[in-house]
Amino acid sequence: MSPILADMLQLVALVGALALVYRPLGDYMAAVYSSGKHLRVERLIYRCVGADPRAEMRWPAYLRAVLAFSAVGVLFLYAMQRFQDKLPMSLGFKAIAPDQAFNTAASFVANTNWQSYAGESAMGHLTQMAGLAVQNFVSAAVGMAVAIALVRGFARSRTGELGNFWSDMVRGTIRILLPIAFLSAIVLVATGAIQNFSGMHEVSTLSGGTQHIPGGPVASQEVIKELGTNGGGFFNANSSHPFENPDGFSNLLEVFLILVIPFSLTRTFGKLVGNVRQGYAILAAMGIIWLGATLVITASEYAHPGAAAQLAGGAMEGKEQRFGEGSSSLFAAATTMTSTGAVNSFHDSFTAFGGGMTLLGMMLGEITPGGVGSGLYGMLIMAVVAVFIAGLMVGRTPEYLGKKIGAREIKFAAAYILVTPALVLSGTALAMALPDGEKAMTNVGAHGFTEVLYAYTSASNNNGSAFAGFGADTPYFNTTLGLCMILGRFLPMVFVLALAGSLGRQTPVPATAGTLRTEQPLFSGMLVGSVLIITGLTFFPALALGPLAEGLS
């Protein structure tokens, strides 16, 4: 069987698996967030934090809870790193430097998981397990909670109440993320991933030297880093390390875990608003862009010119022989079209157009299908914009799901869209103007510029992947990228929740013959066009200086 045919069959198998679980998982998540019952373990957690899960919150209170919970997470994780050398199971590693500890704490709480350190030589087992892995769960649950709050804004009327953050966050963790992660970790261990508390093992290298490799609770962290679209690897090599990703089946399983919740949340959205076809329309827009990106990246990597690449069957530099072109491209598309950031190959070694497509995937706002929760609310914001544009074209007041999209709503949507481009472009421009940016680049010209642009795009969009050649472990980049991660995560949530509150207070508008049918394929196409045009207008000049210039030279 030819490699290309095998890659196509792998893609078909992935889409088939996602389709099989789409309805049951989507319906289950809708039932979780609409249930009035609380499990015993959940009630215990509510008592510990002093929260009343039955108390409804308006958007300012919901936002304050999100920010307060996340702020405590940053402080706790920062302290754990700074005092790591005094904690058990530290493996003898020293405390993390202040700038790197801030960067890492901001990264994992913001669901970014950008890593300017090598995990196997910097973080002890307790820090990895009780610090980083815990944030993998709760940061994903926070994103899902905000998405559900926005959905309630569409589904409810004449009320500003959006539910209870503590209830939504705890349920997302206990009832959705933990069960799937537990079962998937068992499967991953069966494929060969390690799960233990071993210390350092000395192994002989092919060059005749020795290398020290730690054991650790790898499989459990690997699963939630993919399922929660987090991305931080236990090892520096991330999902290209055989202890994290042993073979082709584990690789496909990890891609499945990355995509399963973001895609299935569109079904949850349809169920909660009382019209599953609305969810299908959002799903179609997400799926079209994701599939197109996957095919473009794969084709770019296979078609790379040059005698060496032709002999290897494609551009194999920076890629694992275990996975080859197809599995590496599929993983790259999944991880940059979501907010995952995990990698099984070095994106720095991708072709200009292949690497540029991973960059574009993040610039889209990671909404195709995006991160857990953040992908859904990001695409719903774009749907509001698409409806507004359609209303302007026909001279009619725009409506979406029975709610009028007026000046107040479109201002919130516009502010949401402008946050990450402002962070990306200003951060990149400042870094290129300062000596720190030039020193961090391992390449010159267009490719070196792409490294810097990729770093700020990844941080501001809460992705966490990097062009591997970029040297970001400096006080300047640890600080500025950390700030981009925090602002890129939580500032958009302000506008999402404000929009949810504004929509929830409205009285539903009955549909008429002139109402735009947003469950139809025409709207899905309009939504895809809006996403591509807005992103293109925003980032084309920067892309022209980076991957486009490199690819056309």
Q: pLDDT by residue (tens digit) across 445-471?
A: 898 899 999 999 999 999 999 887 778
pTM comes to: 0.95
Q: Is 6 a domain residue? A: no
What average pLDDT does the chain have?
A: 92
pLDDT at 388 over 90: yes
Detail the DSSP E strand segments found in 109-223. Answer: 200-204, 210-214
Amino acid in position 420:
T
DSSP, collapsed to helix, strand or coil, labels residue 395 as coil
CA–CA gap between residue 408 and residue 153 (Å, rounded): 14
Closest CA to 420 of 453, 384, 467: 453
Q: List C-alpha distances in Å: 96 to 105, 229, 483.
A: 11, 25, 18
CA–CA gap between residue 257 and residue 251 (Å, rounded): 10
% of the chain exceeding 90 in pLDDT: 76
Q: How confident is the model at residue 393 (pLDDT cuts 50, 70, 90)?
A: confident
Q: Is 488 a domain residue? A: yes
Q: How confident is the model at residue 311 (pLDDT cuts 50, 70, 90)?
A: low
Q: Is 303 a domain residue? A: no
16 Cβ neighbours under 8 A, 6+ residues apart: none
Q: For the chain, how many structural domains are there in total?
A: 1
Q: CA-CA-CA-CA torsion for 304, 306, 307, 308, nearest 10 degrees? A: -60
What is the rounded average pLDDT of the residues 21-25?
98
Helix (H) or strand (E) holding 471: none
Q: Is 90 a domain residue? A: no
pLDDT at 314 over 70: no
- For the chain, how many residues are written? 553
Query: Which tens digits make up the pLDDT trace of 91-134?
Result: 889 999 999 999 999 999 999 999 988 888 889 999 999 999 99
Amino acid in position 118:
A
Q: Is 186 a domain residue? A: no
CA 240 to chain centre: 18
Q: CA-CA-CA-CA torsion for 383, 388, 393, 396, nearest 10 degrees? A: 120
Q: Quick one: pLDDT at residue 205?
A: 78
Query: Which tens digits make up the pLDDT trace of 230-283?
Result: 998 899 889 999 999 999 999 999 999 999 999 999 999 999 999 999 999 999
Q: Is 132 a domain residue? A: no
Amino acid in position 378:
G
| Number of neighbours of residue 312 by Cβ within 10 angstroms | 16
Q: Quick one: pLDDT at residue 510?
A: 86
Q: How confident is the model at residue 157 (pLDDT cuts 50, 70, 90)?
A: very high
Q: Quick one: pLDDT at residue 514?
A: 78
DSSP, collapsed to helix, strand or coil, labels residue 399 as strand
CA–CA gap between residue 535 and residue 316 (Å, rounded): 30
Q: List C-alpha distances in Å: 104 to 72, 162, 445.
A: 14, 31, 29
Query: Which tens digits make up the pLDDT trace of 65-78?
Result: 999 999 999 999 99
Residues spanned by the domain of 460: 371-552
Q: Quick one: pLDDT at residue 312?
A: 56
